[in-house]
Amino acid sequence: MSRRVVLSALALAVAIAVCLGALRAWHRPAATTVSHAAAEDFFKLYFDDADGVRRALSAWRGKKLLVNFWASWCAPCVEEMPQLQALADDFRSSNVAVIGIGVDQADNVRQFRKQHKIRFDLLVAGFEGMELAQRLGNPQPILPYTVLIGPDGAILEQYSGRIDPAELRRRLAADVHGAVP
């Protein structure tokens, strides 16, 4: 078999596994505990954005950061993107940032951003993104997976599967106004 066929088969197998994991996410498996070192290592990484510009994750250190792992071929990921964009818009002036880490190819991420008019930063991690999501507590290979990181780099919340936008909005609003969620 050609290398292209093998790589396509591998990509299809991973896509199927992630989709099956997303279906199982309806039961919301408990996120795993994340070590402080894993959270610190996150800010040492670099990924290209949708335009091919190399970006350091350390650029978001000091902000409350909502990190969403997603893919253009993941239906639940696509469905929650407008909700993430609304959160990004609503909390932009509150030292809160939203970034999407695409478990996808650069062309797909770029096309998705344009088609869906996504304005928050979308980074391209390819399949390496699943490994990063697992290091940040993703209990299974599930997309979407979202992590809320505090300004101090501590993991505050983890969401396996689709987010609950009302719950997340309450959490961000409470944190912005100094209240305990």
The model's pLDDT over 101-137, given as tens digits with 9 standing for 90+, comes to 999 999 999 999 999 999 999 999 999 999 999 999 9
In a domain, 48, yes or no: yes
For residue 25, tell me if it sits in a domain: yes
Query: Would residue 33 count as lying in a domain?
Result: yes
Q: Is residue 54 part of a domain?
A: yes
**119 occurs within a structural domain:** yes
- Region 37-44: what's the mean pLDDT? 86
| Domain presence at residue 132 | yes
Give pLDDT, residue 40: 84
137 — phi, psi (to 5°)? 105, 0
**Which pLDDT belongs to residue 177?**
57
Does the residue 181 lie in any domain? no
Domain count within the chain: 1
Residue 72 lies in a domain: yes
Domain hosting residue 152, numbered range: 3-176
User: CATH number of the domain that 144 lies in?
Assistant: 3.40.30.10
Q: How far apart are the first and last CA of the chain?
A: 55
**pTM of structure:** 0.79
How far, CA to CA in Å, does 112 sit from each of 87, 149, 155? 18, 25, 28
- Contacts of 114 by beta carbon, 8 Å cutoff, 6+ apart: none
Q: What is the pLDDT of residues 61-92, one digit of tens each?
A: 999 999 999 999 999 999 999 999 999 999 99
β-sheet with 96-102: strand ranges across: 54-56, 46-49, 121-124, 96-102, 64-70, 145-149, 155-160
